[in-house]
Structure 1
């Protein structure tokens, strides 16, 4: 999709997705879900710690279920062109693990992915749906983690 073909609504959704994704990662860091807690280490959010801490309490919402059904795909190296594949999961992967993986996939594809020619990423309706679902799911995950003001920036 060329820049000039992206309507303002879709641009706003892309911005909102980046905004809420960055707020979520900020909240992860504030709640000490960090890859390394050593004083002086880089403050990197650790999604895996969040998932492990909340896996047992997680219930799939309608938005999360819809994201699971949509199955965002990740970009892979191809010869000669790059392609997309399903995100691999083992049969017993928990719902929270899948939902987080898909939300991160949407963000990664939006930010890094080469979407040209691929029907799932060149389709504005699908992009809109994935962005809306991801934004909703991030809000639900923030509530699950009791992120409050750190997520919504109300202190």
Structure 2
């Protein structure tokens, strides 16, 4: 998809997606879900700690199920061209682990991945679905983690 072919609605949705994704990662840090909590360490969000803390409490929502059904794919190194593959999960992977993995896959693909040549990248209807689903899922996860104003900026 070329930049000049992206309509204003999709641009706005992509902005909202990045906004809410960054707010969620900010909230992770504020709630001390950190890769390293030593004083002076870089403040990096740790999604795995969040998933471990809330795995048992998470109930799959309609948006979460829809995201799982969409099965976002991840980009892999190819020779000569990169390609996409399914995100691998073991048979007993918990719903929260899969939902978070797919949310992060959508972020990675939008920010870093397949800008050409992939049959689903130029499918704007699919991109709208994926972005909207992840935005909804992030709000649900923020509620689950009781992120409050750290997520939605209502202090």
Normalising to structure 2: TM-score of the pair?
0.99
Q: Does 1:136 align with 2:133?
A: no
Report the equivalent of 1:103. 103
Task: Give every structure 1 segment of 4 or more consecutive aligned residues whose post-TM-superposition deviation is greater than 6 Å.
Answer: none
Report the equivalent of 1:29. 29
Report the equivalent of 2:127. 127
Query: Per-residue displacement from partner, 1:90-133 (whole Å, max 9, x unpaired)?
Result: 11100000000000000000000123111111111110000000
List gaps (5 residues or longer) in structure 2: none
CA RMSD of aligned residues (A): 0.6
Q: Does 1:72 align with 2:102?
A: no
Matches of 2:119 and 2:60 in 1, distance apart? 27
Aligned pairs, number? 155
Matches of 2:65 and 2:115 in 1, distance apart? 24
List gaps (5 residues or longer) in structure 1: none
Alignment of 1:82-101 (within 5 A): 82-101=82-101
Matches of 2:79 and 2:122 in 1, distance apart? 20
Matches of 1:136 and 1:8 in 2, distance apart? 20
Deviation (angstroms), 1:26: 0.2
Deviation (angstroms), 1:142: 0.3
Secondary structure at the aligned position of 2:55 is classed as: helix
